């Protein structure tokens, strides 16, 4: 029996996809979620003048295409949800129109602003209020940069909509602000979940822009009559899921016991654990962890690690030179390269900005007196081993902060298709890795739609449904001595 059909859009920094989810029950067996990808599209940023932007209208076009395909293929989804990367936003004017093109979080406008804002507000105070790791892309710095540049856009804007909310607005005409995404701004008081108007006033950020957050699982509205007409589709209602992709992915971690540690592995690597309350201690700030708002009243204590972005940029460079290599082939070449020859500390700030990545990896190794990786396989291996070692460091830090111990690590997201990375991670941790599902964000997105449709009770039921519906691949730790030596070397590298 088909119990429900839902449609999820998951937009990551490297690609977007539309997936259909069908909740199916055979006889009196436990229901299962069956998932099918129906549309996938690249997400390519565009430089205009001094600024880097998202191609938001193209993304809207691809979402409309996904809706059309879903109905053309005969599915009848009751609801749809959109999750996207965090922090970015569009501004809406008094006539309900988009003001300018949204900036990409890697736009250089926020350079140096962490220090400047800390100077004005105080680092400890800001951390205690927002609970967030100081990342240059946070919404607060983007808005402060616009204020400093006297951007007229800030003056005419009436409402700020974070990317997922913006796309939902384009489809339904309804403006909402979903809670998990709101916590990525650094402008929300985490403890009472209200906007930090005093902070906004001090930075010249207009507080009128911010709508009261709604909880994930809230039903928003059907598509607008214009969109129905344009797409020629039947009724479908938008739901606010855990619209921050990281939070959606965490919903789909198939953990059955507490406490558990996870790694959401894509463009970014988000490693952390789930808590009932935020951990706003000075140690959390010093070890550079975030408290992000999760679904179902949870808080996610996690570290943002530079992630597969570094490999994506190397691949882009090789591709542009005509040396086109797939991620799967890159993993094979890395597999054949010598183990633990040299490795990067992925969170060195040089790796944050786009371009010249192969050279950045090489210069990092040179400056740290390690053999310089030459071949594509050596470069890829040096990145993957650096990531695996960084995961160990972050996992140990999460244990130190929470006083918990983790028997292994759940890995989810596109990056787990790189089996070498999963194996290297198990090696570096000296603990097992349980990998799956790949499409965790889209699945978590669907699960929250099912919660809103009352087909799934709560977060625990959602995780159980994931565990019964999707396979998990286990990787066991091998050769721990070599990894222990490498880890000793790694923690001496900059930045500590």
**Of 205, 202, 212, the residue nearest 122 (C-alpha):** 202
Within the chain, what is the greatest distance between any pair of CA atoms? Answer: 64
Q: H/E element holding 168?
A: helix 163-172
| Residue 82 sits in the site that holds ligand ADP (CB under 6 A) | no
Which C-beta is closer to ligand LRH: that of 133 or that of 449? 133
| Residue 4 sits in the site that holds ligand ADP (CB under 6 A) | no
- Minimum distance of ligand ADP from residue 257's CB (angstroms): 25
Partner in contact with 105, chosen from ligand ADP, ligand LRH, none, beta carbon below 5 to 8 Å by kind:
ligand LRH
Specify the length of the chain in residues. 496
3-class DSSP state of 369: coil
- Is residue 281 within 8 Å of residue 275, measured between CB atoms? no
| Residue 417 sits in the site that holds ligand ADP (CB under 6 A) | yes
Among 116, 327, 399, 430, binds ligand ADP (CB under 6 A): 327
Partner in contact with 364, chosen from ligand ADP, ligand LRH, none, beta carbon below 5 to 8 Å by kind:
none
| Residue 418 sits in the site that holds ligand ADP (CB under 6 A) | yes
Site string for ligand LRH, 240-279 (x = CB under 6 A): ----xxx-------------------xxx-x---------
Q: How far is CA 61 from CA 230, 245, 425, in A?
A: 11, 20, 38
Helices 376-402, 309-320: crossing angle, 10 deg rounding:
160
Among 54, 89, 105, 141, binds ligand LRH (CB under 6 A): 105
d(CA 384, CA 486): 13
Partner in contact with 308, chosen from ligand LRH, ligand ADP, none, beta carbon below 5 to 8 Å by kind:
ligand ADP
Which C-beta is closer to ligand LRH: that of 138 or that of 425? 138
d(CA 436, CA 427): 18
d(CA 281, CA 291): 11
Q: 279-317 burial by CB neighbour count: b if 16+ within 10 A, else e? A: ebeeebbebbbbbbbbbbebbbbbbbbbbbbbbbbbbeb
Q: Which of residues 123-152 bind ligand LRH (CB under 6 A)?
A: 137
- Is residue 427 within 8 Å of residue 388, measured between CB atoms? yes
Which C-beta is closer to ligand LRH: that of 242 or that of 266? 266
Which C-beta is closer to ligand ADP: that of 240 or that of 311? 311
- Is residue 361 within 8 Å of residue 314, measured between CB atoms? yes
Q: Which of 245, 319, 458, 484 is catalytic?
A: 245
| Residue 166 sits in the site that holds ligand LRH (CB under 6 A) | no
Residue 262: phi and psi, rounded to 5, are -135, 160
Partner in contact with 331, chosen from ligand ADP, ligand LRH, none, beta carbon below 5 to 8 Å by kind:
ligand ADP
- Is residue 287 within 8 Å of residue 397, measured between CB atoms? yes
Partner in contact with 311, chosen from ligand LRH, ligand ADP, none, beta carbon below 5 to 8 Å by kind:
ligand ADP
DSSP annotation of 439 reads: T
- Minimum distance of ligand ADP from residue 486's CB (angstroms): 21
DSSP annotation of 223 reads: P
Which C-beta is closer to ligand LRH: that of 134 or that of 487? 134
- Minimum distance of ligand LRH from residue 183's CB (angstroms): 10
Q: Which of residues 271-330 bind ligand LRH (CB under 6 A)?
A: 304
- Minimum distance of ligand ADP from residue 383's CB (angstroms): 10
- Is residue 209 within 8 Å of residue 44, measured between CB atoms? no
d(CA 112, CA 132): 17
CA angle (19 as vertex; 13, 21 as ends), nearest 5: 140
**Of 21, 23, 143, 11, the residue nearest 457 (C-alpha):** 23
3-class DSSP state of 449: helix
Respond yes or no: is residue 458 known to be catalytic.
no
3-class DSSP state of 329: helix
**Of 185, 172, 217, the residue nearest 89 (C-alpha):** 185
Which C-beta is closer to ligand ADP: that of 87 or that of 236? 87
Query: Of the ranges 25-33, 101-109, 190-198, 306-314, which one interacts with ligand ADP (CB under 6 A)?
Result: 306-314
- Minimum distance of ligand ADP from residue 414's CB (angstroms): 2
Please identify the residue of the shown chain whose CB is closest to the bound ligand ADP: 12
Among 6, 8, 13, 203, binds ligand ADP (CB under 6 A): 13
Residue 81 half-sphere exposure toward CB, CA atoms < 13 A? 32
Q: Which of residues 178-217 bind ligand LRH (CB under 6 A)?
A: none
- Minimum distance of ligand LRH from residue 57's CB (angstroms): 20
**By the criterion CB under 6 A, which residues form the site for ligand LRH?**
12-13, 85-87, 105, 137, 244-246, 266-268, 270, 304
**By the criterion CB under 6 A, which residues form the site for ligand ADP?**
12-15, 266-267, 308, 311-312, 327-328, 331, 413-415, 417-418
Residues with a catalytic annotation lie at 245
């Amino acid at each position: 029996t088909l119990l429900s059909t839902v449609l999820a859009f998951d937009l990551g920094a490297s690609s977007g996809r539309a997936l259909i989810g069908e909740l199916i029950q055979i006889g009196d067996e436990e229901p299962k979620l069956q998932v099918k990808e129906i549309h996938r599209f690249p997400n390519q940023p565009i430089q205009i003048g001094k600024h880097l932007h998202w191609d938001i209208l193209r993304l809207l076009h691809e979402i409309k295409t996904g809706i059309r395909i879903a109905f053309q293929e005969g599915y009848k989804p009751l609801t749809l949800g959109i999750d996207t990367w965090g922090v970015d936003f569009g501004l809406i004017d008094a006539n309900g129109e988009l003001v300018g093109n949204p900036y990409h979080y890697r736009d250089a406008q926020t350079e140096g602003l962490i220090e400047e804002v800390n100077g004005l507000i105080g680092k400890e105070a800001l951390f205690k209020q927002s609970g967030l790791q100081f990342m240059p892309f946070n919404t607060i710095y983007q808005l402060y940069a616009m204020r400093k540049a006297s951007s007229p856009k800030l003056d005419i804007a009436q409402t700020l909509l974070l990317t997922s909310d913006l796309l939902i607005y384009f489809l339904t005409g309804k403006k909402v602000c979903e809670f998990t995404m709101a916590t990525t701004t650094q402008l929300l008081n985490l403890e009472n979940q209200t906007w930090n108007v005093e902070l906004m006033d001090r930075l010249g950020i207009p507080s009128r822009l911010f709508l009261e957050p709604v909880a994930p699982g809230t039903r928003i509205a059907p598509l607008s009559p214009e969109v129905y007409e344009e797409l020629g589709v039947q009724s479908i209602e938008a739901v606010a899921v855990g619209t921050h992709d990281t939070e959606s992915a965490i919903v789909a971690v198939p953990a059955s016991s507490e406490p558990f540690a996870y790694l959401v592995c894509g463009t970014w690597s988000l490693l952390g654990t789930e808590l009932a309350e935020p951990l706003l201690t000075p140690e959390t700030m010093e070890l550079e962890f975030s408290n992000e708002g999760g679904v179902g009243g949870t808080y996610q204590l996690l570290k943002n690690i530079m992630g597969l972005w570094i490999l994506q940029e190397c691949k882009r460079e090789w591709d542009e030179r005509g040396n086109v290599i797939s991620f799967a082939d890159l993993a094979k070449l890395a597999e054949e390269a010598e183990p633990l020859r040299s490795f990067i500390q992925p969170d060195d700030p040089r790796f944050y900005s786009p371009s010249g990545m192969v050279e950045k990896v090489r210069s990092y190794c040179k400056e740290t007196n390690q053999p310089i990786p030459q071949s594509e396989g050596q470069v890829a291996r040096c990145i993957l081993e650096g990531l695996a070692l960084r995961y160990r460091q972050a996992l140990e830090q999460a244990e130190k902060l929470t006083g918990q111990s983790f028997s292994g690590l759940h890995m989810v997201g596109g990056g787990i298709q790189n089996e070498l990375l999963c194996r290297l991670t198990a090696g570096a941790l000296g603990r097992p890795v349980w990998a799956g599902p790949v499409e965790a964000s889209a699945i978590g997105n669907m699960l929250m739609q099912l919660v809103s449709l009352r087909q799934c009770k709560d977060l625990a039921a959602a995780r159980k449904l994931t565990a019964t519906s999707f396979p998990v691949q286990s990787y066991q730790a091998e050769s721990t001595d070599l990894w222990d030596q490498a880890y000793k070397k790694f923690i001496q590298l900059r930045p500590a």
